[in-house]
Homo-oligomer: A and B are copies of this chain.
Amino acid sequence: MAFKRNFNIMARPVTLLGHLVAISIAVLILVWILHFREGVAFKSDNKLKILNLHVLLMVIGLILFGGQAIMAYKSIPAKKYWRKVVHLGLHAIALAAAIFGICMSFKFHHDIQLTNLVSLHSWFGLITVCLYGLQWVVGFFTYFFPGAESRRRASLMPWHVYFGIFVFLMATCTAELGLLQSLDTWFLLGHTQENLIINFTGLLIFLYAATVVLTVILPPLY
């Protein structure tokens, strides 16, 4: 494909950048939740710890693992079958984390008696996870087990890639909304350390998404 060759760059170095950005995001999120907030918990009198668990599962589970799953075809030096298994497995982990994470959000709302599904973040989040699950199930039956006939697989591939990227970018956008929402009183805050960490995390998550999408477009090294 001429379009691919014209980038004059292979996917491998971009996947390395993706890994570095993913590690940076994980570090920032952990510093934020463990140092500036009060850690995570499944059950606690401090209800904010339940919300923190939601944040951790969504960012590290859905965004970072989801991105690694997409990059797997370009970042793993193995046969196609094993790359597919890793792709499927990482997406399954991401999806499980997302479902568990959403439950934590409902639990938090329930415990402090807030109305569910009010904010734009919650609408985006629920739609994203439904589409993510749908995409996983369709992908599993089309490309893994039992698998469609070869011609059908090929003709569906562009749509699988397009919807996959679409859902991943929707997850990214949801994460950004969640980060902004985590500071209810943003307009009263100045440039506090916590605010700076949240904003830099937001920028890095967007950079991560852009990197992941670029690896999909670029040709593999081998």
Compute how far the CA of A116 lies from the CA of B90 in the bound complex, rounded to whole angstroms: 40
Asked whether B177 lies within 8 Å of A3 as measured between CB atoms, the reply is: no
A81 to chain B, nearest CB (A): 22
Stretch of A16-24, A71-79, A99-107, A157-165 lying at the B interface: A157-165
Asked whether A118 lies within 8 Å of B173 as measured between CB atoms, the reply is: no
- Count identical subunits in the complex: 2
Find chain B residues with CB under 8 A from A3 CB: 1, 158
Find chain B residues with CB under 8 A from A121 CB: 180
Q: A222 at interface (Cβ–Cβ under 8 A)?
A: no
Q: A136 at interface (Cβ–Cβ under 8 A)?
A: no
Stretch of A25-33, A34-42, A142-150, A189-197 lying at the B interface: A189-197
Compute how far the CA of A176 lies from the CA of B1 in the bound complex, rounded to whole angstroms: 34
Find chain B residues with CB under 8 A from A8 CB: 155
Find chain B residues with CB under 8 A from A206 CB: 124, 170, 173
Q: A198 at interface (Cβ–Cβ under 8 A)?
A: yes
For chain A, residues 186 to 219, give those with C-beta under 8 angstroms from any C-beta of chain B.
Answer: 186-187, 189-191, 195, 198-199, 202-203, 206, 210, 214, 217
Compute how far the CA of A166 lies from the CA of B212 in the bound complex, rounded to whole angstroms: 12
**Count of A interface residues, CB-CB < 8 Å:** 48
Q: Across the interface, name the chain B residue whose C-beta is closest to A5.
A: B158
Q: Would you mind naming 29 contact pairs between A and B with Cβ atoms under 8 Å apart?
A: A1-B1, A3-B158, A6-B154, A6-B155, A6-B157, A114-B187, A115-B190, A115-B191, A118-B191, A119-B180, A119-B199, A120-B176, A120-B198, A120-B199, A120-B202, A124-B202, A124-B203, A158-B217, A162-B214, A166-B210, A169-B169, A170-B206, A173-B176, A173-B206, A176-B176, A180-B181, A181-B186, A184-B184, A184-B187
Q: Across the interface, name the chain B residue whose C-beta is closest to A179.
A: B120
Q: A140 at interface (Cβ–Cβ under 8 A)?
A: no
Q: A82 at interface (Cβ–Cβ under 8 A)?
A: no
For chain A, residues 59 to 102, give those with C-beta under 8 angstroms from any C-beta of chain B.
Answer: none
With contacts A118-B186, A177-B177 known, what are 19 further pairs, Cβ within 8 A? A1-B2, A6-B157, A6-B158, A7-B158, A8-B155, A114-B187, A115-B191, A118-B187, A118-B195, A120-B199, A120-B202, A124-B206, A166-B210, A173-B173, A173-B176, A173-B206, A176-B177, A177-B180, A184-B187
